[in-house]
Amino acid sequence: MNLDLLFTYLQNKLNDDLFALGLYQCILAFLVACFVSVVSIPVIIKISELKSLMEKPGERRSHTTPTPTFGGIGIYAAILIAYFLWPSIDQIDVYRTDLSVAGMTILFFIGIKDDLVGIDPNKKILFQVLAAMILIFFGDLRVDYLYGMFGLHHIDQFFSILLTCFIFIALTNAINLIDGIDGLAGGIATIASGTFGAWFLLTNHFTMACLAFTLTGALLGFLRFNFSKTSKIFMGNTGSLIIGFMLAFFAVRFVSLNASYRFDPTSFFNAPIIAIVILIVPIFDTLRVFLVRILAGRSPFSADRNHMHHILLDNGLSHAQATAVLCGASLVNTILFFLLHRNITNTQSLLILGGLFGLYMITSFMLKMRAMYIATHPRRRRAVLRRELQNGIIGKRIIDYL
């Protein structure tokens, strides 16, 4: 689709009264969510300080002062208030979006318990499965068509349930795992939810679009404080669990809608690949970390400083710089794929993604070696430490070597 055709298409959409109403609703939902997030988070910070509910610096932590970790409460409140203020324009997905809020609420309380006293990982997975099953069985939400990847099209209902549940668990935990530095999980989720929301809006799925833009607004309000030096807050497990769950919901619904309307000119014949590309940073980082841990003979769920954002910090980047690099990579990959996707098959796209993952593995290995070289050579080590001190960050590994 060239720019002239895109402009004509958007002009026709804006002339449609129903689309205009949906657009206004999405804009208002976005603004209200952002406002609620900005207003509520300072209250949460104050209560956390008064009750000493702060996350203390530690070996794997990237912060140096005790910081509140309940930003997810503000994000959750913003989503609920902004989404339920408006009547639904279309009725296609109302029940599913309501069920997604029910599943999100389950994970909200699990995340709060995890942030306060901790929770057994097996129990956390169990409740993630429960939240996913609510949408799968009551909302009839499944990935049951694979768009011809490696010759596969329709899949059996049992395997589609297992695949959909796996997608929910994998994406929920992938967002949780990249939540290690300021702005990364929030920035990636903002880009992803905004992209999904734009597609839902342009294809007249207004209820899904409203929910997606609500999450986008709530995240932008949170990021204002996540990057702050005087009133900083983390989203915590509460935030990362509900954000990961909602992004999984958007991704699965995006794939299933494109399968249902695959003969419509606005649908994508390679929707699963697009969903992967939109969430490429958390997916690639989780895969790489799990592979490295397994090859090292450790549990894939064992804790370490082997995520890409840790490696970038150990190479001397600040939180903002590392976040900009990874969010920029996500944006560039998404834009390039949208420009080029119509010229390649789904199987070829998967092979290209496999090649990109191999490049990602090589790049992370080289950066890891560079970080180790910096840590063991005094002159380079002092230069990195000076840069980190200027940025207000002191890398724990570098201090240990000192």
Q: Can you say which residues are annotated as belonging to the binding site for Mg(2+)?
A: 176
Dihedral sign computed on CA atoms, order 274, 275, 279, 282: negative
Rg of the chain's alpha carbons, rounded to an integer? 21
pLDDT tens digits for 58-80? Answer: 555 555 678 888 999 999 999 99
For 240, residues 6+ apart whose C-beta sits below 8 A from its C-beta are 72, 111, 175, 176, 179, 185
Provide the H-helix boundaries in 117-205.
121-133, 157-178, 184-202
Place of tokens 């969510």: 33
Terminal-residue alpha carbon distance, the chain: 56
pLDDT of res. 394:
45
pTM of the predicted protein model: 0.87
**Cα(119)–Cα(110) distance, rounded to whole angstroms?**
8
pLDDT of res. 382:
55
Tokens of 381: 């080590």
Q: Which residues of the chain have pLDDT under 70?
A: 1-15, 57-64, 150, 261-267, 377-402
**Cα(215)–Cα(26) distance, rounded to whole angstroms?**
11
* Cross-strand partners of 174: none
pLDDT tens digits for 284-322? Answer: 999 999 998 888 888 777 777 888 998 998 888 888 899
- Burial state string for 154-177 with b = 16 or more CB within 10 A and e = fewer than 16: eeeeeebbeebbebbbbbbbbbbb
Query: Where is 68: in which H helix or E strand?
Result: strand 67-68
pLDDT of res. 1:
46
Q: How far is CA 101 from CA 135, 332, 347, 381, in A?
A: 10, 31, 34, 48
* Residue 131 one-letter amino acid: A
Burial (CB < 10 A; 0-12, 13-18, 19+), residue 371, is: buried
Q: Can you say which residues are annotated as belonging to the binding site?
A: 176
| Size (the chain), residues | 402
**What crossing angle do the helices spanning 346-376 and 280-295 adopt, rounded to 10°?**
60
